[in-house]
Amino acid sequence: MPAAIALTVILAVLAAFQLALALGAPLGRFAWGGAHRVLPTRLRIGSLVSIVIYAAIAALALDRVGLIDVVPDAVSTIGMWVVFGYFVLGIVMNAISRSKPERYTMTPVVTLLALLSLLVALS
């Protein structure tokens, strides 16, 4: 349960970051490849979609450990393994980013998210 809560808290912080990006904060060097200081419209929309994805992942994790009950157990079990794979792919993508700020900030964050999602998947 602590891993699911920690995962949810980190995702909430990332959701706030993505909301700031979507609203035009000049933090683009930390996301989406780091090519834009202020994101263009299509990437702002991507940031909004990311918030929805983060919420779904948090709900899945909390369901998996029994804090909420929104999907069948098989869905949360398989879903958390998919989330783990998603974050492992995220490690690779952030590690090869051309943006040093993104690479040095987001790679450790996504590594932590992968570890926490693995712990939730194994629970």
The answer to whether the Cα torsion of 32, 5, 121, 70 is positive or negative is negative
pLDDT per position as a tens digit, 73-120: 999 999 999 999 999 999 999 999 888 988 999 999 999 999 999 999
- Give the HSE-up count for residue 57: Cα atoms under 13 Å, Cβ half-sphere: 31
pLDDT per position as a tens digit, 8-45: 999 999 999 999 999 999 988 888 888 889 999 999 99
d(CA 45, CA 23): 10
In this prediction, residue 51 carries a pLDDT of: 97
Q: Residue length, the chain? A: 123
In this prediction, residue 31 carries a pLDDT of: 86
In this prediction, residue 33 carries a pLDDT of: 82
The overall pTM is greater than 0.85: yes
